[in-house]
């Protein structure tokens, strides 16, 4: 097998098209051409080419991961699911996750704490727990984050007051408020305590 052409791709200048024996073989990151010192007329074995392609896929998974988390913090599971949807294999995904953990770009513990801190005034512990579990966060990390940042009794009262603004304090509104607070993940005891502050029996 011989490399017969290495051509920079028009849509992405950071990638090249590799031609083997005058036929297109694969697309590669341009950096890999330098890393493996690839050049036209170079003989290359199938095993060498496969190794380069696998290395390229790992690097692409790492770069895609960094782009994905650049705006918003993500959990490890969210990142894995994203890479799976992009068509990456297990080896590339595991490599990317390991690298991002090594750089501290993904950290489920800090993610859980930031998530709870951001949403605790709008959601009760129950809702926060299930939301984080669905994002693949370990149960112990979820509980630690909730215990550190969430105060359901205070938050329930504050949210109840906000919901009741400009609403009549009648039985129908009380029932609607109760259902609203349940949907936000607050416990019945906290809801009843909050309602008692705004409704007279």
Instruction: Calculate mean pLDDT across residues 116-145.
Output: 92
> What confidence tier does 17 reach under pLDDT thresholds 50, 70, 90?
confident
- What pLDDT is recorded for position 201? 59
Q: Compute, in degrees rounded to 10, the torsion defined by CA atoms 84, 90, 91, 93.
A: 30
Q: Compute, in degrees rounded to 10, the torsion defined by CA atoms 91, 92, 98, 103.
A: 170
In CATH, the architecture of 46-106 is Orthogonal Bundle (1.10)
Alpha-carbon distance of 14 to 30, in angstroms, equals 5
The shares of helix, strand and coil residues in the chain, as percent rounded to the nearest 5, are: 60, 10, 30
Domains 46-106 and 108-149 share a fold: yes
Q: Which of 19, 38, 16, 35 is nearest to 27 (CA)?
A: 16
pTM of this structure: 0.75
- The token pair at 144 is 């630690």
- What pLDDT is recorded for position 27? 85
Fold of 108-149: Arc Repressor Mutant, subunit A (1.10.10)
- Rg, Å, the chain Cα set: 26
148-172 pLDDT, tens per residue?
888 888 999 999 999 999 888 888 9
> What confidence tier does 137 reach under pLDDT thresholds 50, 70, 90?
very high
- The token pair at 27 is 């697309």
- What pLDDT is recorded for position 8? 87
Residue appearing with tokens 């990142």? 79
In CATH, the architecture of 1-44 is Orthogonal Bundle (1.10)
User: Cβ distance 144 to 161 under 8 Å?
Assistant: no
Burial class (CB in 10 A: 0-12, 13-18, 19+), 170: exposed
Percent of the chain with pLDDT over 90: 50
- What pLDDT is recorded for position 85? 93
List 20's β-bridge partners, or say none: 3, 23
Alpha-carbon distance of 7 to 179, in angstroms, equals 62
Q: Which of 184, 121, 167 is nearest to 198 (CA)?
A: 167
Percent of the chain with pLDDT over 70: 100
Alpha-carbon distance of 179 to 191, in angstroms, equals 9
48-68 pLDDT, tens per residue?
888 888 888 998 899 999 999
Per-domain residue ranges for the chain? 1-44, 46-106, 108-149, 152-196
């Amino acid at each position: 097998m011989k490399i017969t052409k290495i051509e920079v791709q028009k849509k992405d200048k950071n990638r090249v098209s590799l031609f083997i024996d005058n036929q297109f073989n694969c697309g590669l990151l341009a950096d890999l051409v330098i890393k493996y010192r690839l050049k036209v007329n170079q003989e290359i074995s199938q095993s060498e080419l496969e190794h380069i392609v696998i290395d390229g896929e790992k690097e692409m998974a790492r770069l895609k991961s960094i782009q994905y988390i650049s705006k918003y913090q993500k959990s490890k599971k969210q990142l894995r699911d994203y890479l799976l949807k992009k068509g990456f294999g297990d080896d590339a995904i595991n490599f990317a996750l390991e690298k991002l953990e090594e750089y501290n770009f993904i950290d489920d513990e800090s993610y859980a704490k930031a998530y709870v801190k951001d949403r605790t005034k709008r959601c009760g512990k129950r809702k926060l727990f299930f939301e984080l579990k669905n994002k693949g966060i370990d149960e112990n990390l979820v509980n630690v984050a909730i215990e550190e940042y969430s105060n359901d009794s205070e938050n329930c009262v504050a949210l109840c007051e906000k919901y009741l603004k400009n609403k009549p304090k009648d039985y129908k509104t009380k029932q609607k408020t109760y259902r609203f607070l349940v949907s936000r993940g607050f416990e019945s005891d906290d809801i009843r305590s909050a309602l008692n502050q705004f409704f007279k029996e």
